[in-house]
Amino acid sequence: MNNWHQLHPVTIIREIGVVAWAVIGVIVFDFGPDFSIEAVPWLPTGADLFELIFAAGAFGLAIARYRSTRFRVTETTIEFRRGVLFRTERTTRRDRIQNVAIGAGLLGRIFGVNTVQVSAGDSAEIELTYVGAQTAQRLRDGLLPDPATPPTLPGVAGSGAATTEAIPIRTIAQLDSSGFVRYLITGPVVVSGLFAVVLIGLAIGLREFWPLLNLAAILFFFLGAGDVFDFRADISGDRLQVSQGLIRREEKSAELDRIQVIQVVRPFIRGLFGFETVRLQTADVSGETSMQVNMLSPLEPAGRGLALVADIFGSIGVTEQDLVPPARVAIRRGFIRAFISLVVVGIVLAVSTAIIVVVNGLDVSAATAIVAVSLYLGASVVVSFLYTTRRYHRLGHAVGERHVMVSTGVFRRRLAVVPIAKIQSVGMRRSFWQRRAGISSITIDTAGMSLAGITATTVIDIPAGLGRDLARRLGDGASRVALPDGV
C-alpha cells in the first residue's frame, strides 16, 4: 500500500450530492410563480442553459474533488490529501492511531462500500469516504496493532498467567451513609437550593412553605447527591473501578496509566466543614471505557486528598507547603481588577436606582446619594482587598521530579496534580497588562475531552522569567518520556 490510492468511484455520487441540492433548489425556484431568469440581465436567456451549466459545474467539481483525494499507507504513516481549490494534506503516524472505525451509510450499503475513519485521539481524523469493503477491512487489520501480541500488564484480559490468578482489589475511597449525609449538606447545589427555598418560603408565607421545602429537599437530594450514593473506588491490577449512583447505578473502569489529571477540589462550604472532593480526568480515546471525568472520592477529610493522589500516581514528590506563590505584583493587579468589576456593578446599580427614583418621583436628597455611593465605594475597597489577599494565598505551583502541582481558585480551591509525562503542550500567555507588570500565565494541557468538567491547569501571574523556565522545563520533561500512543 505504499503507493497513492484513489477512493471508490461511488464517492463521486456523494460529492455531487452536496451541490445537487443547490441545483434542485434552483430548479424549484425557477418554476416558482415570481421568479424569472430573464430578469437577471447578465445571465444567458433561458433557465435551462443556466441549470445545465450549474449541473455540469457540480458534476465537474465532484469529479475533480474525487480525483484530488488520495491516500497511502507507508511503513510508519497513513497519508491523506484532498482538495481542488483548498488543498489539505494530512499525515498520521501509525503508532499514534487509537481507533480505526468502519461504517456504511445508506449509500454505502446500497453500493457495498465503507467509510473508514482513522483517529489518533485528536481532532483531526482521516476519513476515507468511500473505499471498497475489502480495502476497508485490510486497512483496519493493517493499521491497528496485532491483537496476537498480548499486553504483559497484570489484570489485562489475555495476559497469560494473570488470567488464572485472582487479582487483588484494594478499596481506596468509599462513601458510607454518614459520609453521604455530610456530602449532601456541604454540597453547593443543596445548600444554595435550600437557601432559595427558605427565601421563597418566607416570601409566600409559612403555610405553603413546608410542602415546598419537602419537595425541594427531595429534588435537591437527587440533583446534588443521588449520583454519588454508595460511592466506591477500587484499584484492581492496573485498573481503577468506580461504582456509584442510587437510581442509575454506574460501574466504570479506566486504566491507571490513562489518568491525566487528578484535582483536589475544596468548595467554599465544604472547605468550611473541613472536607474536600477528589476528581480525575482520563483520556479514553478508544471509547471502550466511559470514565472521562469522574470522582475519585466525593468526600475526604481536608488534607487527605493528596494522599489519595499518591495512591494513584505514586509519590508526587511535592506538598502544599512547596507551592510557589505568584508574583507580588499580582496583588495589585488582582485588586484593580476586582475593584473595577465592583465599580461597574455599582454603576449599573446606581443607574437602575436613579431610574426607579425618577420614574416613581421619590424624594432622595443629594446628600443621601453621596453617602450611599461613598459607602459602596468603601465596601468595594475592603472586599477587593480581602478577595485579592485570599487570591494571592490560594494561587501557587510546585514542580516535582515527575509531577507538577498547581493551585487555583479563590472560593473554590482547586489543587491539580499533573504527571509531567502526560503533558501534551505548554502555553505561555502574556496580556498587555501582564507584559507591563512583567508576569505571565502558563497553561498546561493534557489529553482528554474538551467538555471535561475539570478546568484548565493554569499557573497564574508568575514572573515572566520564571514562567519561561517553567514552560521550558515542563516541555523538556514531557519530551523525555515517549508515550506508546501519545496519550
Partner 1 sequence: MIPLWRIQAIIGLVVGLSVFGLGFLVLDDMSPRWSWIALLLGGLAVIGSLAQLAAIPIRYRQWRWSLDGDRLAVEEGVFVHATMLVPRNRIQNVTTEAGPLQRRFELSSLTVHTAGMRTPNVVIPAVGRDIARRIRTELGHQD
Q: Where along the sequence are the contacts to partner 1 (CB under 8 A)?
A: 76-77, 79, 83, 85-93, 95-96, 120-124, 283, 285, 423-432, 435, 443, 445-450, 452, 456, 471-472, 474-476, 478-483, 486-487
Q: How far is the CB of 167 from partner 1 (least distance, A)?
A: 29
Q: How far is the CB of 340 from partner 1 (least distance, A)?
A: 18
Q: How far is the CB of 436 from partner 1 (least distance, A)?
A: 12
Which residue type occupies 354? Answer: A
Element at 348 (helix H, strand E): helix 329-360
Q: How far is the CB of 453 from partner 1 (least distance, A)?
A: 11
Residue placing its CB nearer to partner 1 in the complex, 234 or 445: 445
Residue placing its CB nearer to partner 1 in the complex, 381 or 483: 483
Residue placing its CB nearer to partner 1 in the complex, 58 or 470: 470
Q: How far apart are alpha carbons 154 and 236 in whole angstroms?
A: 9
Element at 369 (helix H, strand E): helix 366-394
Residue placing its CB nearer to partner 1 in the complex, 151 or 486: 486
Give the bridge partners for 413, in sequence order. 266
Residue placing its CB nearer to partner 1 in the complex, 99 or 174: 99
| 244 in Cβ contact with 228 (< 8 Å) | yes
Q: How far is the CB of 486 from partner 1 (least distance, A)?
A: 5
Handedness of CA 266, 270, 275, 278 (dihedral sign): negative
The Cβ of residue 299 has, within 10 Å, a number of other Cβ atoms equal to 26
Which residue type occupies 151? Answer: P
Residue placing its CB nearer to partner 1 in the complex, 92 or 297: 92
Q: How far is the CB of 75 from partner 1 (least distance, A)?
A: 9
Q: How far are the Cα atoms of 8, 119, 138, 288 from residue 72, in angstroms, in the given order?
A: 14, 15, 13, 28
| 194 in Cβ contact with 188 (< 8 Å) | no
Residue placing its CB nearer to partner 1 in the complex, 113 or 404: 404
Q: How far is the CB of 393 from partner 1 (least distance, A)?
A: 26
Q: How far apart are alpha carbons 16 and 436 in whole angstroms?
A: 55
SS3 call for 410: coil
Q: How far are the Cα atoms of 379, 396, 406 from residue 414, in angstroms, in the given order?
A: 28, 11, 8
Residue placing its CB nearer to partner 1 in the complex, 57 or 211: 57
Q: How far is the CB of 348 from partner 1 (least distance, A)?
A: 26
Q: How far is the CB of 77 from partner 1 (least distance, A)?
A: 5
- Here the cell at position 231 is 460511592
Residue placing its CB nearer to partner 1 in the complex, 129 or 446: 446
Residue placing its CB nearer to partner 1 in the complex, 235 or 285: 285
Element at 354 (helix H, strand E): helix 329-360
Which residue type occupies 433? Answer: W
Residue placing its CB nearer to partner 1 in the complex, 92 or 388: 92
Q: How far apart are alpha carbons 370 and 385 in whole angstroms?
A: 23
- Here the cell at position 290 is 466511559
Q: How far apart are alpha carbons 198 and 218 in whole angstroms?
A: 15
Q: How far is the CB of 43 from partner 1 (least distance, A)?
A: 18
Q: How far is the CB of 458 from partner 1 (least distance, A)?
A: 9
At residue 108, φ and ψ (nearest 5 deg) are: -60, -40
| 102 in Cβ contact with 80 (< 8 Å) | no
Residue placing its CB nearer to partner 1 in the complex, 68 or 236: 68
At residue 232, φ and ψ (nearest 5 deg) are: -150, 130
Which residue type occupies 78? Answer: I
Task: Please provide the DSSP assignment of 212-236 as one string.
Answer: HHHHHHHHHHHHHTGGGTT-EEEEE
| 313 in Cβ contact with 262 (< 8 Å) | yes
Which residue type occupies 442? Answer: I
Radius of gyration for the chain, computed over Cα atoms and rounded to the nearest angstrom: 31
Q: How far is the CB of 103 from partner 1 (least distance, A)?
A: 20
Residue placing its CB nearer to partner 1 in the complex, 136 or 471: 471
Q: How far is the CB of 408 from partner 1 (least distance, A)?
A: 14
Own/partner long-range contacts of 108-111 (Cβ < 8 Å, ≥24 apart):
108/10, 111/8, 111/10
